[in-house]
Structure 1
Amino acid sequence: MAKGTQGLSAIAQRYATALYELADSSKALDDVAEDLRALRQLLVESDDLVRLIRSPILGREQQAKAMDAVMDKAGANALTRKFLGTVANNRRLFALNNIIDAFLNELARRRGEVTAEVTSAKALTKTQEKALTDALKQAIGTKVAIETKVEPALIGGLIVKVGSRMIDSSLRSKLQRLQLAMKGTA
């Protein structure tokens, strides 16, 4: 592993552990986790937000104010907003994705959960998420937390990753397999 990657992981782990302890003592673990999941989705959807967290031109205060405004608009918990302000003031926003991942992994580990990454063509409803969580729990035999992502290029269906296992039932993959099969018969 590269030295820079190890350094980034160490930074992310320290911040994630600190946030976990604060959220746990404030009885706000679920709220903070929900805020961080929403923020991760915002980072996927917004190039402007990515530029904000990576900008070497913006000062600490500007980044902190901008992050606070974004999280205020998203209705984030006060603890999450204060934490992100600290991260911005310490010039560590570049590690934000790693911090989010480390926090969510720590939360799942302490709860004895397995995390399943679910990618779908459209956002899943709460009912669909619950049904998927129940089905995965039954298949795996342990608590399952799902992390959802939306990727319209899938056309339909799901891609589910649990640990090293992946189930790809997306229409995109089915069409690719059909295309390969048709090439083989020609």
Structure 2
Amino acid sequence: MSEIRIASRYAKSLLDLTVEKNTLEATKNDIDLFLKVCEENRDFVLLLKNPIVQSGKKSAIIKSIFEGKVSDLTLAFFAIIARKGREAFLPEIAGSFIAQYNEFKGIIKAEVTTTFSLTPELKKEVEKVVKEISGKNVDLTEIVDKDIIGGFIIKVGDRQIDDTVSSKLNVLRREMTQNQYIKQI
């Protein structure tokens, strides 16, 4: 079975269970913590994916790291995944859970890139525009990139709005390199 299908099925099971138990927000926070640990500690992810280390040992390590920091339900879920020998897929399962959580809550991820940090008023305005475009609540990520010279880039799903000075200069450069003039004799 493919990695995506495995992650999706386990994430869906966890989402359904947490909705049923009314612990969705707590579990989402737990999964955010797990993803943060995975992001900050490459060795942890490599351990999870290592086929030489036994599942029981991985389960004990996961328990020692997250016990007292996540809910009992999340810890039990991690234990079940390890017992099934699927602990290598935990980062993908967590990512799939967040995607399904966002879909369930009607949240869309958006990314805005500018040359400066957005003020709270400007950030609210961008969120408002994205909400009008998508019809969903917005989880906005802000990126500062001095290379775009000026303007902004907004990415929402697979759509991108590029209104930067550097992109306009590139268009102008392409137009100038095409010789559209005919020499008159």
TM-score normalised by the chain length of structure 2: 0.67
What number of residue pairs does the alignment pair up? 169
Aligned pair partner of 1:91 in 63, 73, 85: 85
Gaps of 5+ in 1: 1-5
Shift of residue 145, structure 1, vs aligned partner: 4.5
From the superposition, tell whether residues 46 and 27 of structure 1 become closer, same or farther in structure 2 (CA, over 3 Å). Answer: same
Q: For 2:63 and 2:86, how far apart are their aligned partners in 1?
A: 15
Matching of residues 46-85 of structure 1 within 5 Å: 46-72=41-67, 75-85=69-79
Q: Is the aligned partner of 1:15 residue 2:10?
A: yes
Kindly name which structure, 1 or 2, has the bigger radius of gyration based on alpha carbons: 2
Gaps of 5+ in 2: 175-185
From the superposition, tell whether residues 162 and 179 of structure 1 become closer, same or farther in structure 2 (CA, over 3 Å). Answer: closer
Q: Is the aligned partner of 1:163 residue 2:141?
A: no
Q: For 2:14 and 2:70, how far apart are their aligned partners in 1?
A: 14
Aligned pair partner of 1:144 in 137, 140, 150: 137
From the superposition, tell whether residues 135 and 70 of structure 1 become closer, same or farther in structure 2 (CA, over 3 Å). Answer: farther
Is the contact made by 1:136 and 1:144 (CA closer than 8 Å) also made in structure 2? no
From the superposition, tell whether residues 151 and 38 of structure 1 become closer, same or farther in structure 2 (CA, over 3 Å). Answer: farther
Q: For 2:65 and 2:161, how far apart are their aligned partners in 1?
A: 35
From the superposition, tell whether residues 168 and 49 of structure 1 become closer, same or farther in structure 2 (CA, over 3 Å). Answer: farther
Q: Is the aligned partner of 1:107 residue 2:125?
A: no
